[in-house]
Copies of this chain bind each other. A is one copy, B any other.
Amino acid sequence: MNKKIVLASRPNGLPTVDSFRVVDAEMPRPAEGEVLLKTLYLSVDPYMRGRMNEGKSYVEPFELNEVITGGVVGEVVESRSENFQAGDIVAGYLGWQLYQVATGDRATVTSITKVDPSLAPVSTALGILGMPGLTAYFGLLDIGRPAAGETVVVSGAAGAVGMVVCQLAKIKGCRVVGIAGSDEKNEYLTGELGVDATVNYKSAADIRGALKDACPGGVDVYFDNVGGAISDAVLTLINRRARIIICGQISLYNLERPDVGPRAQLPLLVKSALMQGFIVSDYAARFPEAIPRLGRWLAEGKLKNAENVVEGFENAPRAFLGLFAGENTGKQLVRVAEPGGAK
């Protein structure tokens, strides 16, 4: 049987499992040109919180009682498209459902692209070789333009994007300072990823003081995944011509009051600094340049991957909520099925 997960209600503040509902669904049948997919992995990502609200943010909101959509890796179990055959592994922005139809036509919302399982585990298409990896790549390299010897600070450093940013900045020869919310995450950053210093924002008595100690030469690049008070502290430590990449603001997504704090304009003015927001789709035309490069670094061991995998389709909402509790080190995924199984 088929199942899907729908938006049950729009949350005020922090979503709960009751914001979602698992419901039975009809088994879809592919039309000419379509394929039938079995879902293998679902991606849960912080940006999806914005889609739970009414009104457009980055992207259109989810509809009440309609299926949640996000990054999905699936296996073609039946093909009526000349571009795919049964057994192909594909990725796309698709529904949270066990089975669904999709097409290779980029003009459709159910557009899929092939994933090469010989390059890396297929789950990487949702992480280090997918949206989060590309986000890290373009945000850091295109906006941040880090130079060897500069200090790069990364908030949400142990998350799906942050861990890639940290490693790319090390590849570029930078001093890298990671901010994360547990000693375990920070030990991963320094022990496994070669990050030079870390700050635990939950346990530090004085975040600014801890950051200042970690950045004796000031901050040249700040890759911001979190916003709020952590970013306020970093902003007081920037150097002239610093670049601040606004990638995410996870600390704000569940706020029920306006986001008020020290305004950034004066420090930006005094330091001739740049602050730039972006969404990875701004760089879609350049994905073909970035994915093989990330793949090569991964194959060479210059990039390490980390995934946090929750088992079972029904647990997707819980995995999503875990993002806001800081549960994941690396990319948070939901494993729904193994490839090669029958439908």
Q: Are B277 and A270 within 8 A (Cβ)? A: yes
Residues of B within 8 A of A279 (CB): 269, 272
In the complex, which residues 216-253 of chain A have their Cβ closer than 8 Å to any Cβ of chain B? 224, 227-228, 231, 241, 246-249, 252
Q: Are A227 and B272 within 8 A (Cβ)? A: no
- A-B contact sample (7 more), CB < 8 A, given A260-B260, A272-B279, A274-B276: A224-B265, A227-B263, A247-B269, A259-B263, A265-B275, A265-B277, A274-B274
Cβ of A261 under 8 Å from chain B: yes
Residues of B within 8 A of A57 (CB): 270
Nearest first, the 9 A-B pairs at minimum CB distance are A268-B277, A269-B277, A275-B275, A246-B269, A274-B276, A259-B263, A261-B263, A272-B278, A246-B265
Cβ of A297 under 8 Å from chain B: no
Residues of B within 8 A of A304 (CB): none
Cβ of A282 under 8 Å from chain B: yes
Q: List 17 A-B contacts (CB under 8 A).
A: A57-B270, A58-B270, A224-B265, A227-B263, A246-B268, A249-B265, A259-B262, A259-B265, A260-B260, A260-B261, A261-B263, A265-B275, A269-B279, A272-B276, A272-B277, A272-B279, A273-B277
Q: Are B264 and A263 within 8 A (Cβ)? A: yes
How many copies altogether?
Answer: 2
A interface residues, Cβ below 8 angstroms from B: 57-58, 224, 227-228, 231, 241, 246-249, 252, 258-279, 282
Of A258, A267, A278, most B-chain CB atoms within 10 Å: A278
Residues of B within 8 A of A231 (CB): 265
Residue of B nearest to A261 (CB): B263
* A contacts with B: majority SS: mixed
Residue of B nearest to A248 (CB): B269
Q: How far is the CB of A56 from chain B (nearest CB, A)?
A: 9
Residues of B within 8 A of A259 (CB): 262-263, 265-266
A277/B271 contact (C-beta < 8 A), A263-B264, A265-B227 known: yes
CA distance A262 to B228 in the complex (A): 11
Q: Are B262 and A268 within 8 A (Cβ)? A: no
Choice from B260, B270, B275 contacting A262 with Cβ under 8 Å: B260
CA distance A269 to B279 in the complex (A): 7
Residue of B nearest to A247 (CB): B269
A275/B282 contact (C-beta < 8 A), A249-B269, A270-B58 known: no
Residues of B within 8 A of A249 (CB): 265-266, 269
